Structure 1
Amino acid sequence: MTGKIIVTGSMNMDMVVKTSHIPQPGETVLGGTFFMNPGGKGANQAVAVARLGGEVAFIGKIGDDIFGKQSSQLFDEEGVDTLGILSDAENPSGIALITVDQLGENSIVVAPGANANLEPDDVEQAFSLYPDGKILLIQLEIPMRTVEFAARYAQGKGMTVILNPAPANDLIPELFSLIDIITPNVNEAEVLSGVKITDITSAKEAAESLHKQGVKNVIITLGKLGAALLEEGVFYHIPAPEVETVDTTAAGDVFNGALAVAVAEGRSLKDAASFACRAAAIAVTRLGAQSSIPYRNEVLFSSMA
């Protein structure tokens, strides 16, 4: 028994258009493929944990509408514990509008809806359902006051706190003392560290800056370059498998879910980051958010492993 991973965060319905290029301001692009896919950073990470073999519960808030009901039903089908999901009678479920270009890069606009109404009291109530919680995995698509409360509560219970600081904001440094592992991407790491990342060396400098600010362990995701890991001041570069990118949507969420699973199983951070890189590499070869998330046997036995 590895202990439950509690994911606290957002649930959205993603509305995706795949087209030739991401429009510039004022530009209309004709042609493309449309589909809807359950998403939200929190939900994506919870599904990733479940598919990769972790025991996971989700704490979040949805609207009393068809999108909320669909998301909750899909969680049940994936094996995610949904007792911590609350319904908001006043606000709709979150929506994300996503454009994906022919190179697999994306542009995303999120209307948070009920996610923005997840309060500390909601989280405290839900946490009481999971006395066996071992890891808290949290992101920033819910109010910062709720993020801080959840991190402080989890730390007080002796849980490992993993923060995916997305989207980045100026308030994150206030959380650093509560975080065991922070997992920014390049843009987020640059915002938080003030270091421009252009290669592995500058990624190491950015990670060291975050460590000096109070974060115990730093993992910066570097896309095709893999990840930069600073574990208690010791630096490692974790390479990523070479793949043909189709869609980068949710790649970071897959990385974080995989990382949480590996940490819960007692793997070293270096091994956990490697496992996460392999899982994310598979995800970018597929379209969509949750539809791109691999299963455990794909990661463990993939030829990329």
Structure 2
Amino acid sequence: MEKIIDVCGLGTLAMDVLMKVDMLPKEDGFCLVRSNSKQPGGSGTNVIVQLSRLTAKCGYIGAVGDDDLGKEVLKSLEAEKVSTADMIIKEGKTTLHTEIVIDDAGRKFIMLNMGDAFLELSAEEINIQSIKRARVFYTDFLPKEAALMALKAAKEADAKTVFNMQAGLETMEGLKVTKNEILDALQYVDVFAPCREGLYGLTGTTNLEECAGFLRHYCKGILLFTLGKEGSVAYDEQGKAYYASIYPVDAIDTTGAGDSYIGAFLYQYCLKNETIQESMEFAALCAGYTCTGIGARHTPTLEEAINMKANIR
């Protein structure tokens, strides 16, 4: 089948509702609300937006409600040139969103409202043809049944498959995804990129070599571990290790840096056929750029990434 889409994503999406207050209230206390605003979020859509900004042709699959938040999610993707043709709109349902309360000192707390639309995306609602027409399929394995069917379909269509486990094992289990289900899904995965908390929870160890050894029983593809300030480590199919440091920047906000990293890595490795090492270094650069601004969508265009790389050199 002809590949007419670079990357098809299926996974998390959200709208962040920001409330700035004078102080975080104590129990039974009050605070003064200074302003309200909205920002698009969700790790899955953040990754796809980074890919789109790097010139990849992308589409996304997920479920939103027909509420104002759902409309904002769709609008934000369309503004980033991400196709929403395969998004499912659930009538009368509430879109997944976070409510973030931030005080004058920058302290905050976050309330996650799962709504009743996102996890209701069923495998039967997925447009399999869009997945089969993509060169790369990306997912964070949520919702589980839909993501698993999509992984299998992408694999059958010879697409590169990527599983970015963005949450810890306890959180995944809270969303009704078990450890064994995650491990079983890895047989369909070409690039597995768990967050540090997820990696340690899956493997039961913090030793990276032991982590890789454990996962190799389930995944035959690339293992990519992002480690925050410690950089990133990858293991190829033969077990060779690759290391990349973070790019030194004056960080303002690290939100979304991991999403930018994964999106940039996929762009270089899966679409541009660059080496693992080069792809990791480019991804670290894009993640560094994200840290220099506010919000998860402060991610670079291809031109901005190239200019940043030139200036560092």
For Structure 1 versus Structure 2, the TM-score category normalised by the shorter chain is 0.7 to 0.9
Of residues 95, 120, 129 in structure 1, which corresponds to 2:123? 120
Residue identity matched to 1:192: L
Deviations 1:32-89 (A, max 9, x none): 8764201112211121111112111111111101111122122222111111111110
Q: Secondary structure at the match of 1:208?
A: helix
Pairs within 5 Å for 1:141-156: 142-156=142-156
Deviations 1:159-191 (A, max 9, x none): 111111122332311211111111112111111
Map of 2:173 onto structure 1:
none
Q: Would the alpha carbon gap of residues 107 and 293 (structure 1) be closer, same or farther in structure 2, given more than 3 Å must change?
A: farther
Name which of structure 1's ranges 240-249 and 223-232 shifts more when overlaid on structure 2.
240-249
Residue identity matched to 1:146: A
Contact 1:224 1:242 in 2 (8 A): no
> Which structure 1 segments of 5+ residues have no match?
197-201
Contact 1:17 1:100 in 2 (8 A): yes
Q: Are residue 221 (structure 1) and residue 226 (structure 2) matched?
A: yes
If asked which structure has higher relative contact order (CA below 8 Å, sep 6+), I would say: 1
Q: 1:24 offset after TM fit, Å?
A: 11
Q: Would the alpha carbon gap of residues 98 and 179 (structure 1) be closer, same or farther in structure 2, given more than 3 Å must change?
A: farther
Map of 1:54 onto structure 2:
56
Residue identity matched to 1:195: T
Q: Are residue 235 (structure 1) and residue 241 (structure 2) matched?
A: yes
Q: Distance in 1 between matches of 2:278 and 2:106?
A: 27
Q: Are residue 258 (structure 1) and residue 259 (structure 2) matched?
A: no
Q: Distance in 2 between matches of 1:27 and 1:251?
A: 35
Q: Distance in 2 between matches of 1:128 and 1:189?
A: 32
Q: Secondary structure at the match of 1:5?
A: strand
Q: Are residue 135 (structure 1) and residue 141 (structure 2) matched?
A: no
Q: Would the alpha carbon gap of residues 234 and 147 (structure 1) be closer, same or farther in structure 2, given more than 3 Å must change?
A: same
Contact 1:100 1:247 in 2 (8 A): no
Deviations 1:134-167 (A, max 9, x none): 1011014x32112211111111111111111122
Residue identity matched to 1:143: P
Residue identity matched to 2:251: T
Q: Distance in 1 between matches of 2:102 and 2:299?
A: 17
Map of 1:76 onto structure 2:
78
Q: Would the alpha carbon gap of residues 234 and 143 (structure 1) be closer, same or farther in structure 2, given more than 3 Å must change?
A: same
Residue identity matched to 1:118: L
TM (norm. structure 2) is 0.83
Identity %: 22
Map of 1:269 onto structure 2:
276
Q: Distance in 1 between matches of 2:107 and 2:220?
A: 30
Q: Are residue 283 (structure 1) and residue 290 (structure 2) matched?
A: yes
Map of 2:193 onto structure 1:
183
Contact 1:255 1:277 in 2 (8 A): yes
Q: Would the alpha carbon gap of residues 37 and 214 (structure 1) be closer, same or farther in structure 2, given more than 3 Å must change?
A: same
Q: Would the alpha carbon gap of residues 118 and 212 (structure 1) be closer, same or farther in structure 2, given more than 3 Å must change?
A: same
Q: Distance in 2 between matches of 1:35 and 1:25?
A: 23
Contact 1:152 1:178 in 2 (8 A): yes
Pairs within 5 Å for 1:27-38: 35-38=37-40
Q: Distance in 1 between matches of 2:43 and 2:52?
A: 14
Q: Are residue 194 (structure 1) and residue 204 (structure 2) matched?
A: yes
Q: 1:16 offset after TM fit, Å?
A: 3.6
Q: Distance in 2 between matches of 1:210 and 1:100?
A: 39
Map of 2:175 onto structure 1:
none
Q: Are residue 161 (structure 1) and residue 168 (structure 2) matched?
A: no
Q: Would the alpha carbon gap of residues 130 and 237 (structure 1) be closer, same or farther in structure 2, given more than 3 Å must change?
A: closer
Map of 1:199 onto structure 2:
none
> Which structure 2 segments of 5+ residues have no match?
170-178
Q: Distance in 1 between matches of 2:299 and 2:47?
A: 9
Residue identity matched to 2:273: G
Q: 1:208 offset after TM fit, Å?
A: 3.0
Cα RMSD of the aligned pairs, angstroms, is 3.0
Q: 1:17 offset after TM fit, Å?
A: 5.5
Residue identity matched to 2:97: I
